Amino acid sequence: MEYIKLAEELEKTTSDEVEQTVKSIISDVRSGGDAAVKVYEEKFGNSVRPVRVSEEEIDHCMKTLPDNVKVLIDRVVDRVSDFAQAQLDCLSPFEKEFGEGIRMGHRIVPVEKIGAYVPGGRFPLLSSGPMVVAPAKVAGAKRIVACSPANYEGGIHPAVLYGLIRSGATDIFAIGGAQAIAAMAYGTESIPEVDVISGPGNRFVAEAKRQVFGKVGIDLIAGPSEVLVFADDTASSRKIAADLLAQAEHDPYARAILVTTSRTIAENTIKEINELLPNFSPSSPAHESWAKRGEVIYAESLEEGLEICNDYAIEHLHLHIKNSRDLMDRLTNYGSLFINEDSSVVFSDKVSGTNHTLPTQKAARYSGGLWVGSYLKVITHQEITGEGVQFLASHAEDQSEIEGLEGHKLSATVRLS
C-alpha cells in the first residue's frame, strides 16, 4: 500500500465550541419554545417569518413550480417509495410455539411521530426531502414533521417544499439548524414533539441529533459526503475523476478517495482531476475538498485493495473493476455499494431509489443507512399456558434462588401447581 496523494490531517467535524453552542441552543429551545426558536432563526438564518409553512405558501408552490421540475421530483418520490415498499415487504411478523404451552413472536409496528430534517445547504437538493420523508410514509407513520431552513426568499425553496408535500409530510416548518432538532425533540407551542428524528445536516445539526438521542431516536449521525472508488487497470480515469469530484463538491470537508491496483490509473486520474477542476466554479467546495482531503492509494494486489476498502468503511463504495459483482461477498463495510463503473453514485444521490442518507466516518462498520426500517419497531410478545407455565416457573424459581431475587422467585412460585 502506497499513498500517491495523502490527505492532510483530518480535522474533527465537531469541535468543543460546536458542542457547547449546540448544548446552549437545545437548552434555550427546551425552556423557551417558539420564542427561542425565533431568536436563533433570526441570529443564524436571518429569518423573521412565522415558523410554520402556511397553506397559502403550499398552494402557491403547487401552482407556480414548473411542471418539468414537478415531474423530476415525482419520479424521485415514486422510486424511493417503491424501494422502501420492497424493503418493507421483506419484513414479516411471526408467532410460533417454542415448546408446549409457550408461544412467542414479534410484530412490526410503525413509529408514530417522525421528525424529518431536510438541509437547505448551498443548493436546493431535490431528492433530500423524499429520501427522508417517503420511507416514513411507507412505514405507516401517522405524523411526519418536516423542518428545512428558510433560506430562499424568506422561505423553503419551492422545489424542496414540493418534495416534502409529495412525500407525505403532515407538518412543515421553515426553520433549520440545531434549533430545529431541539424543537422537534422537545416540542414547542407550534412544533410537535416527535419520536424519531432523521435526515442529514451540517455539523451543528449532527451534534444536535447526538445530544437529543435518548430523548428521541435518531437514524444516524451523518457527516460530510465520502466516496471511495476501487479501480483496476481496466477502469476509465476520466470516469473515476468525475465520480470523485461529484462527491467532493458536496462540502469542503467531503472525502474523495481512489484505491487502485494500477499506478497508471492513479497517475492518470490525478491528471484528469487537475484538468477538470479548474472548470468548476471558484466557489465550489470541490477545490478545497480535493486539495485537503482527497487521497489516491496504490494497492499492490486485489486482496490488499479489498482490505483497504473494508478498513475505510466508506459511505459510498464504487467498484470500477472488471467483473466487480464477483467481489460483493468480500466487501462488508460500506454505506452503499455501486457495482461496475457506470453505476454512478450520482444516480443514488438523485433518483435510483436507494437512500442517500448513509453512515460516514467509519460508522458503516456497525450500521447501514436510512431505510424504511428506521421508522419501524420490532416488538416481541409471549403467551405462556399449561405445561409451559410449569416448565418456565420451575426454571425461574431455581434461577432466582441462585441470584438472590426474592420477588422474582415469588412471582414464579405462585404459578407452580
Mind listing the pLDDT tens digit for each residue in 254-275?
999 999 999 999 999 999 999 9
The pLDDT of residue 223 is 87
Give the CATH architecture of domain 16-100+109-218. Answer: 3-Layer(aba) Sandwich (3.40)
- Model confidence at 12: pLDDT above 70: no
CB neighbour burial string for 69-79, b if at least 16 within 10 angstroms, e if fewer: eeebbeebbeb
- Whose cell is 473494508? That residue is 310
CATH for the stretch 224-368: 3.40.50.1980
- Model confidence at 123: pLDDT above 70: no
The pLDDT of residue 270 is 98
- Which has the minimum average pLDDT: 113-122, 177-186, 256-265, 287-296? 113-122
The pLDDT of residue 120 is 82
Identify whether the C-beta of residue 182 lies closer than 8 Å to the C-beta of residue 208: yes
Q: Which distant-in-sequence residues (6+ apart) come within 8 Å of 349 by Cβ?
A: 127, 246, 356
Q: Parallel, antiparallel, or unpaired: how do β-strands 2-5 and 295-298 relate? A: antiparallel
Q: Which distant-in-sequence residues (6+ apart) come within 8 Å of 136 by Cβ?
A: 114, 116, 144, 168, 198, 375
The pLDDT of residue 121 is 64
Distance CA 7, CA 68 (A): 41
pLDDT tier at 417 (50, 70, 90 boundaries)?
A: confident
Distance CA 225, CA 244 (A): 11
Phi, psi of 298 (to 5 degrees): -95, 125
Mind listing the pLDDT tens digit for each residue in 362-384?
999 999 999 999 999 999 999 99
- Model confidence at 11: pLDDT above 70: no
Phi, psi of 301 (to 5 degrees): -155, 165
- Which has the minimum average pLDDT: 123-137, 237-251, 380-394? 123-137
Distance CA 35, CA 291 (A): 42
Mind listing the pLDDT tens digit for each residue in 265-306?
999 999 999 999 999 999 999 999 999 999 999 999 999 999
Distance CA 384, CA 102 (A): 5
325: burial class by Cβ within 10 Å (0-12, 13-18, 19+)? exposed
pLDDT tier at 47 (50, 70, 90 boundaries)?
A: confident
- Model confidence at 45: pLDDT above 90: no
Q: Which one, of 259, 249, 251, 244, lies nearest residue 223 by Cα? A: 251
pLDDT tier at 48 (50, 70, 90 boundaries)?
A: confident
- Model confidence at 92: pLDDT above 70: yes
Identify whether the C-beta of residue 370 lies closer than 8 Å to the C-beta of residue 336: no
Distance CA 174, CA 57 (A): 11
Identify whether the C-beta of residue 331 lies closer than 8 Å to the C-beta of residue 306: yes
The pLDDT of residue 14 is 65
Cell numbers that stand for 389 in this block: 407455565
Taking residues 164-191, what's their average pLDDT? 97
Distance CA 351, CA 335 (A): 17
Which amino acid would we find at residue 325?
R
Q: Which distant-in-sequence residues (6+ apart) come within 8 Å of 411 by Cβ?
A: 396
Residues of the chain with CATH 3.40.50.1980: 16-100+109-218, 224-368
Identify whether the C-beta of residue 164 lies closer than 8 Å to the C-beta of residue 133: yes
Q: What is the mean pLDDT of the chain?
A: 95
Distance CA 39, CA 13 (A): 25
3-state class of 52 per DSSP? strand
Whole-prediction pTM value? 0.93
94: burial class by Cβ within 10 Å (0-12, 13-18, 19+)? exposed
Mind listing the pLDDT tens digit for each residue in 193-218?
999 999 998 889 999 999 999 999 99
Which amino acid would we find at residue 381?
H
pLDDT tier at 122 (50, 70, 90 boundaries)?
A: low
CB neighbour burial string for 158-177, b if at least 16 within 10 angstroms, e if fewer: bbbbbbbbbbbbbbbbbbbb
Show which residues are catalytic.
Answer: 315-316
Work out the end-to-end distance of the chain between its first and last CA atoms, rounded to an integer number of angstroms.
Answer: 69
